[in-house]
């Protein structure tokens, strides 16, 4: 990832730190990211699954369900989502063909930096789904 994208992410880390304790605003941020992802499907195809995972992590944290992610990782995730939803980034999103290149780079960078924390979240998430299934159906 280029130095410009790292600097771009760092610009949002301060705002992400402030949002960390504001669960309603985090939930709203997750909704904004989901909306932007849904309305820009083709441009975001590469990073779609990773971004969805990051958004689910923030949603689970905001609800108070998932509490195991390190603060540093949460700040990076929130900063990446802020970068994604912000109209002010290094490459404006409206530039056809390359407008989402910096967003994709930020998402990929954050995902790679905290992959172990993401794997732990995915494992936790899978366990939650198992627990929500009727116990009588688990033997089928």
Q: Report pLDDT for 137.
A: 43
The rounded distance, in Å, linking the Cα atoms of 106 and 80 is: 6
Measured distance CA(52)–CA(30) in Å, rounded: 9
- Residue in 70, 66, 35 with CA at minimum distance from that of residue 51: 35
Contact 83, 9 (CB under 8 A): yes
Show pLDDT as tens, one digit a residue, over the chain (140 residues): 555 556 667 778 888 888 888 888 888 888 888 877 777 666 566 678 898 899 999 999 999 999 999 999 999 999 999 988 887 766 666 666 667 778 888 888 999 999 999 999 999 999 887 555 455 544 44
Phi/psi for 70 (5° steps) reads -60, 145
**How many angstroms separate the CA atoms of 90 and 30, rounded?**
21
């Amino acid at each position: 990832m280029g130095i410009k994208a790292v600097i771009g992410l760092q610009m949002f880390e301060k705002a992400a730190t402030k949002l960390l304790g504001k669960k309603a605003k985090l939930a709203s941020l997750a909704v904004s990211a989901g909306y932007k992802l849904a309305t820009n499907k083709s441009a975001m195809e590469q990073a779609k699954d990773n971004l969805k995972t990051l958004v689910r992590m923030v949603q689970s944290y905001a609800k108070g369900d998932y509490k195991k992610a390190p603060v540093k990782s949460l700040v990076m995730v929130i900063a990446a989502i802020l970068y994604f939803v912000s109209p002010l980034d290094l490459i404006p999103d409206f530039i056809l063909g390359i407008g989402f290149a910096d967003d994709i780079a930020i998402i990929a960078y954050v995902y790679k930096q905290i992959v172990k924390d993401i794997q732990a979240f995915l494992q936790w998430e899978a366990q939650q789904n198992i627990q929500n299934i009727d116990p009588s159906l688990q033997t089928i």
